[in-house]
């Protein structure tokens, strides 16, 4: 089956896939962050990463700052991708995007994910309004150091950061301009992944995710800070694998 192609979707296709995992990246990240996931997860699971404008092979495009526009575009593309069951994984900003895309699909009567993995993010109704995109370059770089998700050698490379900051700033604008609106409950199971040492306050209202779905919502805690997904990579994969293999076999 020839599925619609789009620069928004980076698929690692192959034979024998029974479920597609759409992956949404954190601020400043790209589809490349998920390039190695296919080899790490079960062959039954196909990885398809979301590539926002301004990064990766879309580096020359203008970054987006409207979360509503991104949500609608991605949701419609996913709905056009055939009948294979699917799930979402998103970390930090990616978790917010995954949640809002799932809501869009649900609200418009389109196919919805079988499972949501929401990583490193407070429940949307409790999100703090941060305007990091308004900071001067040096102050923004200091904030990025605090998040501990970008290598110091990159943050201290002035020429490289001049290329990366517009995308990072746009991503923080996506989150900073977000306004939660109550809506109909989702009808899917969720797994919320959190780092025990996250200093960004993301774990303070993690239980609020349970109020967003009529399905089961499990909270999984990992050692580490906001970017626990890197040092706890194997444990994160075990968590994803255990949840999705049951879905892929149904």
Which residues are catalytically annotated? 92
User: Cα angle at 48 between 144 and 182, to 5 degrees?
Assistant: 65
Classify residue 176 as exposed, middle or buried by CB count within 10 Å of its CB (0-12, 13-18, 19+).
middle
3-class secondary structure, 110: coil
Task: For residue 87, list its beta bridge partners.
Answer: 21
Q: Output DSSP code: residue 150.
A: S
Main-chain dihedrals φ then ψ at residue 217, nearest 5 degrees = -135, 110
The alpha helices in 27-157, defined as continuous H runs, are 37-40, 67-79, 93-107, 137-147, 152-155
Torsion, CA 185, CA 191, CA 196, CA 201, rounded to 10: -30
Q: Which two tokens stand for residue 24?
A: 């949404």
Q: Can you count the helices (H) and strands (E) in the chain?
A: 7, 7
CA distance 227 to 212: 24
Count the alpha carbons within 13 Å of 78 in the hemisphere toward its beta carbon: 32
The 10 Å CB-count burial string (b at 16+, else e) for 7-17 is: ebbbbbeeeeb
């Amino acid at each position: 089956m020839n599925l619609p192609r789009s620069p928004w979707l980076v698929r690692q296709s192959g034979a024998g896939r029974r479920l597609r995992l759409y992956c949404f990246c954190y601020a400043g990240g790209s589809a490349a962050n998920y390039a190695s996931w296919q080899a790490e997860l079960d062959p039954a699971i196909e990885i398809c990463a979301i590539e926002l404008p301004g990064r990766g092979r879309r580096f020359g495009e203008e970054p987006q700052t409207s979360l509503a526009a991104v949500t609608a575009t991605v949701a419609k593309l996913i709905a056009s991708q055939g009948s294979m069951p699917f799930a979402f994984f998103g970390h930090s900003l990616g978790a917010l995007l995954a949640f809002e895309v799932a809501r869009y699909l649900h609200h418009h009567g389109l196919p919805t994910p079988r499972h949501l993995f929401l990583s490193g993010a407070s429940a949307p109704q409790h999100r703090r309004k941060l305007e990091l995109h308004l900071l001067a370059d040096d102050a923004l770089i200091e904030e990025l150091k605090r998040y501990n998700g970008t290598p110091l050698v990159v943050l201290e490379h002035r020429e490289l950061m001049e290329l990366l900051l517009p995308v990072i700033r746009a991503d923080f604008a996506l989150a900073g301009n977000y306004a939660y609106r109550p809506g109909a409950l989702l009808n899917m199971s969720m797994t919320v992944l959190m780092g025990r040492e996250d200093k960004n306050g993301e774990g303070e209202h993690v239980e609020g995710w349970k109020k967003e779905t009529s399905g089961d919502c499990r909270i999984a805690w990992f050692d580490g800070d906001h970017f626990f997904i890197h040092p706890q990579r194997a444990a994160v994969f075990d968590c994803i694998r255990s949840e999705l293999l049951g879905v892929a076999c149904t």
